[in-house]
A and B are shown apart, each in its own frame.
Chain A
């Protein structure tokens, strides 16, 4: 690879990360608010109390401001696999494209159609139809998260496919293996509960602000109740599904786990780093420098979480590169050099196969194909240079992971305290808790971003685990072009985010009361 294409790849990654990062500011809020609104409206329809209608409509207004910008960033992503990652698109499009198309047909239309009824249908459809529409918006948004996470999970754990040397791509052979992959449903649940969590912390924070200002107190308490329940469920389930996800990572992406834990040398009965500071002087994975300046460890927990056995061996960065340890299935792990040799063999066999096919040498076609199949599991290693290429950015992955977990634990405690104060009817005059709630809003958004950093930075250098590294995935577009669009995206998204925040702040300051009169006076 020459320098130009490395910079193309990095800019393509930066641009994609930028779009995905912005997208994931708005989407969790959309899904989380959709659920909270739907619960509120259900209470309204059941009790017939107008105050619940106003509460629902206030949050719907906020939802509306946020909704459009979420899909605006989403449309770019839908096409970015092609614009930035054209090689990838052909190489795995046969599998990866399907969930995206299904997402469009099944989820997006559901969401887009019923969102119009939700916004404009208050006086045009019956109460129950309107309620159903709100729930369908939530369902549509959740389904769309499901399909895109199926696609993402497949990149982390490619299954249900077979490489076809004639078309030079991976082809789907088992749809259900792709859809029901354990990585997919763990990821999906983890991501969806993170949306509940973000929506809930947002509702709790805004409600707390009203309490601080001593405005709309009844409305704020109502919102807090729903928000805190959703929040507690969301964060507890995040812990449960996070454990499920980490278990999958341990089985399928051991290097990512090693990076999350800053684990350079593997151990039996490995402890979980609860809190730590990495040693910046550690410059190579195999130097003798200690990885930590400070590390508070919970003994044996990492082994237990990763393999459900407190004495299991957890491989570190060095082990994964050097190989030689025993894998959970009883076989011995191959070294990087060995996998690289097999990967190169596979790539060469593909080339030989294509030439033989062209020249009509049937026997050679078959023999090259056999070599290719035998070594295909290591295909991507053939494009890498040294073992160091296998290592993701460890500090970024480590700190992102630990900060995310800490924020999660904080929120579980926080929502428990809020629910207790609500139960004791002391919430409206507990100023410190209201401040905590308000200032916690950005924390939940931060945690959601950190989670994706762990998932995506931690799996480098792979676009498709073991099969395709990022260097080979990009489009043949020079870095200059991508830098230009990167700057344009940054300006536009940042401008729109600023506008969204400003509009929201105005709307929140106006408060829910403005809505009860709006029906008669117009805006």
Chain B
């Protein structure tokens, strides 16, 4: 699951790109080129998000039911903006699209900004906690609040997470990371001098804010209280510097995390400072996958409640109390053997379509432009 999360954040570069369609391009042609270079990749992000939902359902049904049914508005808004994205590539330049290209590009922009930001905020709640209760006896008539097992206790249904500065800092970090990656992707993929120059600048303009917001979130999280689970009694309690302890207790995660951060920074700043360097996206992309994966691992491993409830500690979700049965997890593990096959053909397809970089001419000859 953590790896899937990592991949998802990497693939958010599509959203990052969407968020700067307007600011990066000066002319209509340039805009069209950007739309098309992203438009050949958007399905991957989208499919990963869908699979992320399905995999969470299969592996951690209690998370699926508590978070989606509870933080209702946060998820709904996130999904809405992905719905808008899905049609926008195909529809925007087609005659008869009713709302006009400007509206569809606004949809792409909204998806780029809200999609990344909200996802960051929601992931931050894995560390900062949410306001829900879980009572497995409710369905049998135990408890006093009806038959529903998990209940959100804040009427804003997820939007309250926007009032937490630490959540916001991760939201902004993910937004700027996505934009940094998008800039790196453009540098790598486009054969268009002006856009490439501007993209390099955008790497810097977005890389620095990303770094600042990310450091705020990271330092705050490492030194603040975390949600620890007693391995014997299963009682959840607050522990000072819990997430820092998780790093020191599991040094291999810390090492990988630092390597990941290093790769992100190397890819970013090498692109800024050496004008011929085009491979930044590979370093930053791989680094992003590792960093996010490790971050999600310290949220749940080492006796930690990965989806904590801040108002009722004992309702917090742990890997153990919210996961599927061993039988189902085994079945899912067998299915995961397909993942290398999937990755294999994605690499093939990516390679087959990306032998040539994308310039203005290919838009005409490939026969299917957005």
Partner of B57, one of A100, A110, A122, A488: A100
Query: Residues of B contacting A96 with CB < 8 Å?
Result: 57
* Interface flags, A114-128, vs B, CB<8A=1, else 0: 111101111111000
Given contacts A98-B331, A506-B95, contact A71 B64 (CB under 8 A): no
- Asked whether, in the complex, the Cβ of A97 is within 8 Å of the Cβ of B98, the reply is no
Given contacts A75-B49, A75-B86, A101-B57, contact A95 B328 (CB under 8 A): yes
- Asked whether, in the complex, the Cβ of B353 is within 8 Å of the Cβ of A124, the reply is yes
- Asked whether, in the complex, the Cβ of A104 is within 8 Å of the Cβ of B79, the reply is no
In angstroms, Cα B341 to Cα A269, docked, is: 54
Partner of B46, one of A75, A169, A499, A502: A75
Query: Interface residues of A toward B: which range?
Result: 35 or more
Given contacts A90-B61, A93-B65, contact A68 B149 (CB under 8 A): no
- Asked whether, in the complex, the Cβ of A87 is within 8 Å of the Cβ of B139, the reply is yes
Decide yes or no whether B164 CB sits under 8 A from chain A.
Answer: no
- Asked whether, in the complex, the Cβ of A475 is within 8 Å of the Cβ of B69, the reply is yes
Partner of B47, one of A108, A475, A505: A108
- Asked whether, in the complex, the Cβ of B149 is within 8 Å of the Cβ of A86, the reply is yes
- Asked whether, in the complex, the Cβ of A172 is within 8 Å of the Cβ of B331, the reply is yes
Partner of B367, one of A74, A123, A477: A123
- Asked whether, in the complex, the Cβ of B69 is within 8 Å of the Cβ of A83, the reply is yes
Partner of B151, one of A106, A112, A348, A476: A476
- Asked whether, in the complex, the Cβ of A89 is within 8 Å of the Cβ of B328, the reply is no
In angstroms, Cα B62 to Cα A169, docked, is: 10
Query: Residues of A contacting B84 with CB < 8 Å?
Result: 72, 492
Which of A244-252, A320-328, A349-357 participates in binding chain B? A349-357
Give min CB distance, B339 to chain A, whole Å: 7
Residue of A nearest to B150 (CB): A86
Given contacts A171-B328, A475-B70, A495-B99, contact A75 B352 (CB under 8 A): no
- Asked whether, in the complex, the Cβ of B98 is within 8 Å of the Cβ of A169, the reply is no
- Asked whether, in the complex, the Cβ of A105 is within 8 Å of the Cβ of B331, the reply is no
Which of A184-192, A421-429, A455-463, A515-523 participates in binding chain B? A515-523
Query: Residues of A contacting B58 with CB < 8 Å?
Result: 93, 97-98, 100-102
- Asked whether, in the complex, the Cβ of A475 is within 8 Å of the Cβ of B368, the reply is no
- Asked whether, in the complex, the Cβ of B142 is within 8 Å of the Cβ of A475, the reply is no
Query: Interface residues of B toward A: which range?
Result: 35 or more
Residue of B nearest to A74 (CB): B50
Given contacts A78-B53, A87-B149, contact A120 B366 (CB under 8 A): yes
* Interface flags, B138-150, vs A, CB<8A=1, else 0: 0111100111111
- Asked whether, in the complex, the Cβ of B76 is within 8 Å of the Cβ of A485, the reply is yes
- Asked whether, in the complex, the Cβ of B69 is within 8 Å of the Cβ of A82, the reply is yes
Query: Residues of B contacting A97 with CB < 8 Å?
Result: 54, 56-59, 61, 64, 324, 328
- Asked whether, in the complex, the Cβ of B148 is within 8 Å of the Cβ of A87, the reply is yes
Query: Residues of A contacting B61 with CB < 8 Å?
Result: 89-90, 93-94, 97, 169
Decide yes or no whether A280 CB sits under 8 A from chain B.
Answer: no
Give min CB distance, A466 to chain B, whole Å: 16
- Asked whether, in the complex, the Cβ of B72 is within 8 Å of the Cβ of A477, the reply is yes
Residue of A nearest to B43 (CB): A112
In angstroms, Cα B324 to Cα A100, docked, is: 14
Query: Residues of B contacting A477 with CB < 8 Å?
Result: 69-70, 72, 152, 157
Give min CB distance, A376 to chain B, whole Å: 12
Partner of B150, one of A83, A120, A476, A523: A476
Decide yes or no whether A67 CB sits under 8 A from chain B.
Answer: yes
* Interface flags, B346-370, vs A, CB<8A=1, else 0: 1001001101100000011111110
Residue of B nearest to A113 (CB): B349
Q: Tell me the residues in window 44-71 of chain A with beta carbons closer than 8 Å to chain B beta carbons.
A: 57, 64-65, 67-69, 71
- Asked whether, in the complex, the Cβ of A496 is within 8 Å of the Cβ of B87, the reply is yes
Q: Tell me the residues in window 197-231 of chain A with beta carbons closer than 8 Å to chain B beta carbons.
A: none
- Asked whether, in the complex, the Cβ of A82 is within 8 Å of the Cβ of B57, the reply is yes
Known: A72-B82, A82-B53, A492-B84. 13 other contacts (CB 8 A): A75-B46, A86-B149, A97-B328, A101-B55, A112-B46, A113-B43, A123-B366, A168-B140, A347-B140, A354-B137, A476-B145, A519-B367, A523-B93
**A–B complex contacts, Cβ < 8 Å, 24 sampled:** A65-B94, A75-B49, A78-B53, A84-B69, A86-B68, A90-B66, A93-B62, A97-B328, A98-B335, A105-B54, A105-B338, A171-B324, A172-B325, A173-B327, A351-B142, A354-B142, A476-B152, A481-B72, A488-B80, A499-B87, A499-B97, A503-B91, A519-B365, A523-B93
Give chain B's interface residues, CB within 8 Å of chain A. 40, 43-44, 46-47, 49-59, 61-62, 64-70, 72-73, 75-76, 79-80, 82-87, 89-91, 93-99, 136-137, 139-142, 145-152, 157, 324-325, 327-328, 331-332, 335-336, 338-339, 342, 345-346, 349, 352-353, 355-356, 363-369
